[in-house]
A = this chain, B = another copy of it.
Amino acid sequence: MGVVGATGYTGIEVLRVLAHHPRVRVHFATSEGSSGEPSALPGLPLVSGDEAALDEVDAIFLCLPHGKAVEWALRAAEANVGVVDLTADHRPGSGREEGWVYGMADLAADRIAGARKVANPGCYPTGVQLALHPLVGGGLIRSGYPVVINAASGVTGAGRTPKRELLFAEVASDFRAYATGNGHRHLLEMRAGLPGLPLLFQPHLLPLARGILETIYLPVTPGADAAAVRAAWRTAYQGAPTISVSDGSPTLAEVVGTDRLVLGASDNAGLPELVTLLVSFDNLGKGAAGQAVHNMNLMLGLDPALGLRC
């Protein structure tokens, strides 16, 4: 394996997961600015991109800033090396998704198994699609009504490039909405994965390093309720190694530092037309590195859960 861009939060997390993976070895980890320094994997120094020995690896993870993956993808194709791209560059809605398999590992295992180029989903869209996909087919969603997705994320989702608004003293006592106006890049990706649903997506920034909680207000068909939602999830995700359905209320505490995702649902007294869905996961785990390694396992024909923190 190779990890390209190994000093950002996702790159470091991919290295952490691979460190305990029983079947793969990391051959290189790149960084343009810190070449020669230690990587997050004990004993493996960082190298520059030019020094990366593509011919020694089966696949690479692209953990670069958005926009920087295109060139590496071409280089990997020439070297006949598999790619899991954790950037937004080849996701649905990017305009460059052609020829790429969208890596929702729990929804498209078959397609991923035969792929060489996998676009790893964004963090927010991972949770939204895993929550809503099984309900779309089941006739539970009332069509034509907006689906409100209220989301909150820890700051590692914004990357490791120094910016004033990400400084400790700016974030530490605050909570705020951002990207108001339904214009977040991830919304295009959600809509591509859930065509026909009128989605409203409003993210917020938590004073936490890690973790995403999505609270989704779902218009349901008459008679449908939280129990029906949970039943549909349990059917869809039977055997899914990283997904669990809770009868209670999912929390960040139970998922941070893992590759798990927890789903919950509750009815609303006096408002039977809306069921509240809750989805919790680690934006760097299931929302990035966990699903990336899951995808790599599928691409290489390994046990899908190998190395994952379930």
Contacts and interface: CB of A to CB of B under 8 A. Distances in A.
A166 interface: yes
A114 interface: no
B181 A268 contact: yes
A209 B256 CA distance: 14
Contact of A207 (B150, B155, B207, B278): B207
A152 to B, nearest CB: 6
A interface secondary structure, majority: loop
Interface of A: 9, 146, 148, 150, 152, 154-156, 160, 162-164, 166-178, 180-183, 198, 200, 202, 204, 206-211, 213, 215, 217, 249-253, 256-257, 264, 266-271, 273-274, 276, 278, 280
What 8 A-B pairs come out closest when comparing CB atoms?
A162-B162, A182-B268, A180-B266, A176-B251, A168-B171, A169-B209, A174-B253, A150-B150
15 contacts: A146-B217, A148-B217, A148-B274, A150-B215, A150-B217, A160-B164, A162-B164, A174-B251, A175-B251, A175-B252, A176-B280, A181-B268, A198-B271, A202-B276, A207-B208
